[in-house]
Structures are given as C-alpha cells and as structure tokens.
Homo-oligomer: A and B are copies of this chain.
Amino acid sequence: MSFPALTIKLPDWVDSFLSSKPDILPTIEQRMDLVISLSRLNIQHKTGGPFAAAVFSMDTGKLIAPGVNMVVTSSCSVAHGEIVALSIAQKISGCFDLGAPGHPEYELVSSTAPCAMCLGAIPWSGVKRLICGARDEDARAIGFDEGSKMSNWVEELEKRGISVINDVLRLEAASVLKYYNDSGGTIYNGRQDSNLT
C-alpha cells in the first residue's frame, strides 16, 4: 500500500509577476494592493479562484511568501490563498511557528476575510496580524460560502494576540470578486448546497 505525497506549487506566473515588483512595501495599502493584483491575475491566468494572500514582515513590509487559491487546479480543497501563503512562509523560515523567538513579527494579508478553515489556521501559524480586504458578505454576494464562523471572530483572534485590520481597499478587493463572477468564473461547489472560498 502506497500513498502519494501532497505537493502544492504556485503557478509559474507568480514568480515572474513578483519579480517586477519591489519586495519591500512600506504601507498596508501597498501590501493589500499587491495581494489584490494576485487575486485578479489568478483569474486571468485561470489558475484558481478569485482569492489571494501573502505573508509580510510587519515592520519592514518585506514580502515573505505569496499564496493564491488553487483549490480546483491542484485538486485540493485546502489550497486556499491563506493556507498556501502561510505554508510557504513556514517552509522558507524552516519552522512551523512564524511567531517563534528570533523571527521578526509577521502578518497575513488576505484579499477577502478568511473562511472558517483559514480563520482556524491563523492562530496555529504564528502570525501577529491579519489584514483583510473584502468582507465575508462580498464573497457571499457572488455565491461563495465562508463557512460557519463565530460572529465575534475578530475578538477571538485578538484574545490570542493577533490584531485585525478589516476593510483595507475593500472596494478594490470586492471588485475582483465581481469581475470573477461577471466573467463566468466557476463558483466551485464542494457540496450540493453551497460553495467554497
């Protein structure tokens, strides 16, 4: 009996796109703008859903790791942008804990507020801040499901020492979701009655 390894590799266009960008982004709006660009390019390259994320050094704004949604293209329901970015950042750092002593403080920037799975993943990752663009309701407006989230999820993260900034370039982020929907993007459906982010 033999089982395959799980491998998730960023689409080739990510490296070349990021090579043309500065790797230090001083403001949170610049960081979100980059992540929104990744979410838009992920649609245009047909490499996944309209969601992206990235891990940055909070202090310097250095890009540590990007992530894009690859659920359909990698046949993996776990491959949300946030999970991909966090996992790659940990691989680069060589540690499952981005909050371990000796690391700078890291943040996760997500083009849309995280679904229930990604929300649960954030405290395990060691990031100290979450920055969100579009809201849950913007994803739901085009038919995606964010899962069963506690209504006080911001407070729950903050109790764990993770600060949250919502609505950063929300309109721009939400416009990518609308673009995906308007251009006939698949609202991929893991179950018969609802959809995934």
Cβ-defined contact, A88 with B160, below 8 A? no
Cβ of A194 < 8 Å from any Cβ of B?
A: yes
Cβ-defined contact, B194 with A160, below 8 A? yes
Question: Given A117-B120, A119-B116, does the pair A126, B191 have CB atoms closer than 8 Å?
Answer: yes
CA distance A83 to B118 in the complex (A): 12
A110 to chain B, nearest CB (A): 14
- A binding-site residues for B, Cβ under 8 Å: 1-10, 14-15, 18-19, 23, 63, 65-66, 71-72, 74-79, 83-84, 86-88, 90-97, 99, 115-121, 123-126, 145, 147-148, 150, 153, 156, 160-161, 188-194, 196
Cβ-defined contact, A5 with B7, below 8 A? yes
Cβ-defined contact, B96 with A76, below 8 A? yes
CA distance A76 to B88 in the complex (A): 9
Cβ-defined contact, A192 with B77, below 8 A? no
Which among A14, A74, A77 has the greatest number of chain B C-beta atoms within 10 A? A77
Cβ-defined contact, A117 with B121, below 8 A? yes
A62 to chain B, nearest CB (A): 11
Q: List 25 A-B contacts (CB under 8 A).
A: A3-B88, A4-B91, A5-B10, A6-B7, A6-B8, A6-B84, A6-B91, A74-B96, A75-B91, A75-B95, A77-B86, A77-B87, A78-B86, A97-B189, A97-B191, A99-B191, A115-B124, A117-B124, A120-B120, A123-B147, A123-B190, A124-B190, A160-B193, A160-B194, A161-B193
